[in-house]
Amino acid sequence: MVGVLPTGPLNAITDVEGVRVGHSTRIEGDDIRTGVTAIIPGPGNLYTHPVPAWLYVGNGYGKLVGATQIQEFGELETPVLLTCTLCVWSAANALKEWVYEQPGMGEHTVNPVVGETNDGAVNNMWADVIGHDEVYEALNTASSGPVAEGSVGAGVGTQAFAWKGGIGTSSRLLPQSLGGYTVGVLVQTNFGGVLTMNGAPVGRELGQYSYRAQLEKKGVDDRQEDGSIMMVVATDAPLTARALDRVAKRAMMGLARTGSFASNGSGDYVIAFSTNPDVRRPREGMEPFVAPSLTNEAMSPLFAATVEATEEAIYNAIFKATTVESSRGKREAIPLDDLMRVLKKHGVLNWDREMSPGN
């Protein structure tokens, strides 16, 4: 367990009502190891009734289709897709086609949102194999149930701290005394640094960390610090785009807890949105739209939930990942026995059983 707040029943972004997640995994031949993950932020027509949203850029070395309109309107009008770096444009085109097939759509321009991380170490992303079939599979199979994690969908070929990473998710439930809201996070990891889990120096003790070659004056720099991460934060709290900007920034704090320092070659992006039906305003109309909005004072519990859920989502991506190999290279899963030894040594396991309300 990470932190002090309880998880939702699924410990996934789908604990936030209305959110659905689907994957399409593509493993073919000796060098195709990739996929696409779809996050559908709510029911109904997202174009006619978009959800409030915001995008925060921790470090902007990446390709994120649809970014500027999110920040201009403070709204999300399509599902969010995650995929490989050179697949974003074909995925965006397929997403556009899928949106036009939804009930209530006419001949409008639409702003597909597609993020990415680079899986080129094991995947031939220049082959551009993510298109109509893969995107439609991810979207049409998206569900509100458990979310597959690790080497699946957009996480097939990605890493975390030079071990195999991928897709991870987690959630936090706030008690009624703190608002009673849910926060869910889904990540696509592909970044480096010095892995820390619940404060335990895992990367240092297992001998895998950024700048090891220079610090030990041996070997060749393998650029373990570089890479990217996409973080998607959902909540059912009634929030404006401005408030979601504040929430999105806190996801970076959860990322930092894991040992990342957002390197120069990293694309670190956070998309945050609210699923609360009372804040989904119609796209058209001349009358003022009145919606509930939390006070600034009420935001702090959501910040805490976002930090904890982001941190744990990253850990879950690492724990659930399996080794992936191709003719291009290999991403090895973290050795779980060694990892557990380090965690036990530093006493960071079973916090949920050891924490006492009276202490």
Does 4 reside within a domain?
Answer: no
Please name the amino acid found at residue 7.
T
Distance CA 56, CA 135 (A): 25
How many Cβ atoms sit within 10 Å of the Cβ of residue 277? 16
pLDDT band at 216 (very low <50, low <70, confident <90, very high): confident
pLDDT for the residue 223: 59
**Does residue 251 or residue 358 have the better pLDDT?**
251
The pairing of beta strand 32-40 with beta strand 20-28: antiparallel
pLDDT for the residue 226: 77
Asked whether the beta carbons of 221 and 256 are under 8 A apart, the reply is no
Rounded to two decimals, the pTM is: 0.96
- The residue range of the domain holding 272 is 13-282+291-348
Q: What residues act catalytically?
A: 228, 266, 268
Does 6 reside within a domain?
Answer: no
Distance CA 71, CA 53 (A): 8
Asked whether the beta carbons of 318 and 146 are under 8 A apart, the reply is no
pLDDT band at 105 (very low <50, low <70, confident <90, very high): confident
Does 355 reside within a domain?
Answer: no
- Which range is least confidently modeled, 64-68, 84-88, 225-229? 225-229
Indicate which CATH number applies to the domain containing 317. 3.60.70.12
Beta bridge partners of 159: 164
Phi/psi class of residue 329: alpha, beta or left (left: φ > 0; alpha: ψ in -120 to 50)? left
Rounded to an integer, the average pLDDT of 335-349 is: 95
Does 354 reside within a domain?
Answer: no
The overall average pLDDT reported for the chain is 94
Number of structural domains, the chain?
A: 1
Does 356 reside within a domain?
Answer: no
DSSP-assigned letters across all residues of 233-278: EEE-S---HHHHHHHHHHHHHHHHHTT----TT-EEEEEEEE--GG
The answer for residues whose C-beta is within 8 angstroms of residue 21's C-beta and 6 or more apart is: 12, 13, 14, 37, 38, 39, 40, 142, 143, 147, 169, 186
Does 87 reside within a domain?
Answer: yes
Asked whether the beta carbons of 195 and 335 are under 8 A apart, the reply is no
In the block, residue with structure tokens 């003719």: 327
Please name the amino acid found at residue 154.
A
**Does residue 104 or residue 233 have the better pLDDT?**
233
Beta bridge partners of 82: 37, 115
- Which range is least confidently modeled, 37-41, 284-288, 316-320? 284-288
Does 71 reside within a domain?
Answer: yes
